[in-house]
Amino acid sequence: MAIQERKTKTGDRRYVVRVRDPLGQWYEVKVFALKCDAERYERELKRLNDEGRNAQSKGARNLLFGEYLGRWMIECRGHVSDGWKISQNQMIRDYILPHLANRRFAEIQPYDIGNVIEKSKERLQPQTAKHIYSLLRKMFGDAGRTLRHSRA
């Protein structure tokens, strides 16, 4: 666990409590105006950790990649053309889902993404492999924001 001091645009100090889960992922849990409040909250999180609980909710820990993908396609996909959505659907269906669909989202590691990219390079042009990488990068980047807000 860590407490990081940040300055806002107005120059005020804020204290961010971050925790690392058993898989090594850091999560920004809460932001405080006072350092003593951040330290108190960090102590509470450490106590919960000693009891065997972790920073992610049970739902977030058990979320499958395929489940997140459905949510991402509705909430986070962005404003792209219908043609690009068709291309994304094809890349997801043919190259991403066969490798990641039934994996827990929180357990997917960089080497898993590397495997998806390497396998796609065997059958595709380099530019298409880059599109797959960019698509995965967007999905995982959006997950950092959407899953953090859905935790309870």
Confidence tier at 152 by pLDDT (50, 70, 90)? very low
CB distance 146 to 71 below 8 Å: yes
The β-bridge partners of 6 are: 14
- Residue 7's identity, in one-letter code, is K
pLDDT tens column, 86-123: 999 999 999 999 999 889 888 888 899 999 999 988 88
What is the C-alpha separation between 105 and 72, in angstroms, rounded? 12
Domains and CATH numbers, the chain: 2-55 (no CATH), 60-150 (1.10.150.130)
pLDDT tens column, 45-95: 888 777 766 555 666 668 889 888 988 888 887 778 889 899 999 999 999
Model confidence, pTM: 0.60
pLDDT tens column, 7-18: 999 999 999 988
